[in-house]
Amino acid sequence: MERPEIINQLGNDSAPFLQLAGQEAIAWKTLGLDSIATAKREQKPILLVLGVSWSRTARYYDKYVFTDDVVDRLLARDFICARVDLDERPDWVSTFLPFTRVRLKLDPNFQMFVLSPDGKLLKTLGAFGLNEQPTPDYFNQNLISVVSIYQQSQEAGPVAGSLSNSPGALQQGDVNLVGNEPATPLSAESVASGFQQAIQVESNGGFPAFQTQSQYPQAWKLITLMLGPEAAEKSIDPMIYSPTVDFLRGGFYRGASDLKWNLPHFDKSAEAEAELTCVLTRLSVLNHSPYEAFLAKSAANDLLTNFPGTDGFVRAAQIGNEDGAFNRSPSASSSPVQLRALFPQFSQRQWVWQNLNLIVDSNPLMVPYISSINTFNSSKTNLVSSLSKILADQKAPQYTRVESLSVNATVAARLIEASRLLGDQDMANRATSLFESLKTFISGDDVLHTVDASDYSQPVLADYLAYADAALEDFKNLGRVSSIESGFHILNRGLFLFGGQPLGVFNTGTSDPAHGVLVNATGPQLVDDFGESTTAKVIRLAGEYGRLLQNSADPAERAAAKKLLGICTTTIQLFSSISTSIGPSASGFLIDSAIEQDGRYVVAEGSNPILMANQLMALAPAFPVVPAAGPVWPSLQTAKAGYYLIVDDKATGPLSLQAAFSQLGTKLDLGS
């Protein structure tokens, strides 16, 4: 008997992840004071699900687990069920177990927790790898155990759940780590050594976990700038010669369900794709690699052509649409029948089989990709023609409707940076146009998370940081003083609003009423969940803005810049021990801290300082290279033309291009 279609209160919600549950029999609620009050009144635990619509795990649960009659009955009887869309509310991503959730196998895109009505963490659910698909019966057994734990806690009183291995104790342990760990120096040498060992051990590249692969742009950035491009290629090559690359539209899928990258998920994250574009751009410049430049430019085009909605803003993600017994995608996969129709001549099909690897036995998802550089170097005409035919036969993918400032500013920042490295004026123009459109989100020194009236618009820390990032890149690219000035003010405003305790902690959001009832604060983010963590960005941006403006002619700017440098140092000290224990998932913090501790940067002065800066940046991509303009080193703006190396706030120069490069090199000096 077919179950009737039931529309719950999330059916008409604007948040895409909440809409996924809109036709389920479960009485889902949005998380707020009302749902918390209901839990307290009925004395039921809260099943809290945090996720995004572009999570394959989330879609699996909504399709197979949350539609199971037994699961539904148990949830209706014993739980209050609530959801949060992490695209709309990214401040919730690190609320629970911000540091230990990596080793607990918690997917940041889909987190499930059971809370007592007063907000205590009773149990984590959904601790599965990307390739694991728990049955409804397995999930039901987990729920039964939660009910038992909750009933015992009710009988035993407040001491229940205090065991050292309980989720509640782990949550408290995570909170206590901040400020109570000894402030140990962060050793760039030891970090680099650990990553070198991981590269030597892992033949499939990447940083596999639980028999799956995921994108780690910040880890690949770290390897490139600390260990060099050869080490980075060893780690990233298995991915860029696999079906995880979208050769039809450009860009990269977020992960794969196997170690060899052969079974991609079809979700894409705009932030991760932008960061990976920058990684490949650096590698293409350092290795003089046309293939890596091609991948970077294709990804940039995907972000600027396919991701934008009708208003021109970049949407947060492409939503995977795997379907059928083989989990193929109608937007990316081709069946043997389709190939026979597209390529009627046997010789054409043979070329496609051999060069695009469209063979069912070795490529079950039938996603076109190249596995050899020879295809790219010697068969470009056939490659482009064949891919165009296949693309014309595919359905268009779907995208989440959320268009946030943090996503758009991150895309603008990374693509402006990539365009400077590549010397790609078209990419620069399009990325700059995106940056200029961000003024819609800005009001003085404050920002909005989204400009859609139907969405949650309260800003989060990531919005302030991303705008400051994009404004700084615009200054480097065009020398616009208004950009570095606005970025500086918005950065300082964001750090003021979201500063926590102890000094050096910056919460991902402000405590709304639900946060206040459940956990009191939103907490810091150290894990690179959707992209570079907010703590890493604080270090990078506070350090760079602080160094660039500490010699401003304006006394107030000088004072604020020096305060930023102090924040940067304190934050590094505070999280150094925790970050090394997290490993690759905290790579953003590790590499940004290493760059800040190195401290070198270069100011270019001359008739065309922007061109000069870009020329040196392409040779030494590990270091900030900026034009002398506006508040940036006014004393050098009347000095002799050349490059000025800045170390400990002292300028050495003028230097020639080669002399400046010899002072920097292509990677961080781990002995400095």
**Is the dihedral angle over the CA atoms 107, 110, 115, 120 positive or is it negative?**
positive
Looking at the structure, tell me whether residues 223 and 331 fall in a common domain: yes
Q: What does each C-alpha distance from 45 to 79, 84, 149, 359 come to in angstroms?
A: 5, 16, 10, 50
Judge whether 13 and 22 are in contact, CB under 8 Å. Answer: yes
Looking at the structure, tell me whether residues 170 and 210 fall in a common domain: no
Q: Minimal CA–CA distance to 95: which of 87, 104, 86?
A: 86
Question: What letter represents residue 407's amino acid?
Answer: V
Judge whether 592 and 599 are in contact, CB under 8 Å. Answer: no
Q: Is the confidence at residue 164, as pLDDT, over 60?
A: no
Q: What would the pLDDT profile of 407-438 be if each residue is shown by its tens digit? A: 999 999 999 999 999 999 999 999 999 999 99
- How high is the pLDDT of residue 166? 61
Percentage of residues in the chain with pLDDT exceeding 90? Answer: 69
DSSP per-residue letters across 420-486:
HHHT-HHHHHHHHHHHHHGGGGEETTEE-S---TTS-----HHHHHHHHHHHHHHHHHH--HHHHHH
CA angle 474-188-421, nearest 5°? 25
Q: What would the pLDDT profile of 640-667 be if each residue is shown by its tens digit? A: 999 999 999 999 999 999 999 999 998 8
Residue 501 is assigned to a structural domain of this protein: no
Domain at 91, CATH number = 3.40.30.10
Torsion of CA 365, 367, 372, 375, to 10 degrees: 150
Residue 515 is assigned to a structural domain of this protein: no
Q: What does each C-alpha distance from 634 to 204, 544, 628, 630 come to in angstroms?
A: 50, 16, 7, 7
Looking at the structure, tell me whether residues 142 and 247 fall in a common domain: no
Residue 545 is assigned to a structural domain of this protein: no
Residue 475 is assigned to a structural domain of this protein: no
Looking at the structure, tell me whether residues 397 and 309 fall in a common domain: yes
Residue 353 is assigned to a structural domain of this protein: yes
Percentage of residues in the chain with pLDDT exceeding 70? Answer: 92
Looking at the structure, tell me whether residues 282 and 150 fall in a common domain: no
Question: What letter represents residue 567's amino acid?
Answer: I
Instruction: Output the six-digit token pair for 205.
Output: 């590249």
- How high is the pLDDT of residue 671? 60
Q: Is the confidence at residue 1, as pLDDT, over 50?
A: no
- Entry pTM: 0.94
Residues in contact with 131: Cβ distance below 8 Å, sequence separation at least 6, in sequence order: 210, 211, 212, 257, 258, 263
Judge whether 375 and 386 are in contact, CB under 8 Å. Answer: no
Residue 642 is assigned to a structural domain of this protein: yes
Looking at the structure, tell me whether residues 152 and 221 fall in a common domain: no
Buried b (16+ CB within 10 A) or exposed e, 213-232: bbbbbbbbbbbbbbbebebb
Judge whether 643 and 616 are in contact, CB under 8 Å. Answer: yes
Residue 269 three-state SS: strand
- Partners of residue 442 on adjacent β-strands: 447
Instruction: Output the six-digit token pair for 503.
Output: 């000094």
- Total domains in the chain come to 3
- How high is the pLDDT of residue 117? 87
Q: How far is CA 462 from the centre of its chain?
A: 11
Looking at the structure, tell me whether residues 134 and 30 fall in a common domain: yes
Residue 375 is assigned to a structural domain of this protein: yes
Question: Which residue is listed with tokens 């972000």?
Answer: 303
CA distance 237 to 370: 12
pLDDT-derived band at 2 (thresholds 50, 70, 90) equals very low
Judge whether 653 and 583 are in contact, CB under 8 Å. Answer: no
Q: What would the pLDDT profile of 76-122 be if each residue is shown by its tens digit? A: 999 999 999 999 889 888 888 888 888 787 888 999 999 888 877 88
Looking at the structure, tell me whether residues 42 and 120 fall in a common domain: yes
Looking at the structure, tell me whether residues 91 and 222 fall in a common domain: no
Residue 77 is assigned to a structural domain of this protein: yes
Looking at the structure, tell me whether residues 228 and 301 fall in a common domain: yes
First to last CA, the chain: 71
Q: Minimal CA–CA distance to 95: which of 511, 536, 462?
A: 511
Q: What does each C-alpha distance from 608 to 64, 212, 413, 626 come to in angstroms?
A: 60, 48, 22, 12
Residue 318 three-state SS: strand
Domain end point (choices 343, 376, 403)? 403
Domain end point (choices 160, 177, 194)? 177
Stretch 301-328: mean pLDDT: 93
Looking at the structure, tell me whether residues 378 and 235 fall in a common domain: yes
Looking at the structure, tell me whether residues 216 and 336 fall in a common domain: yes
Domain at 653, CATH number = 3.40.30
Stretch 478-486: mean pLDDT: 97
Structural domain of residue 288, as residue ranges?
206-403
Q: What would the pLDDT profile of 32-89 be if each residue is shown by its tens digit? A: 878 888 999 999 999 999 999 999 889 989 999 999 999 999 999 999 999 999 998 8
Stretch 285-300: mean pLDDT: 96
Q: What would the pLDDT profile of 568-616 be if each residue is shown by its tens digit? A: 999 999 999 899 888 899 999 999 999 999 999 999 999 999 999 999 9
Domain end point (choices 161, 177, 193)? 177
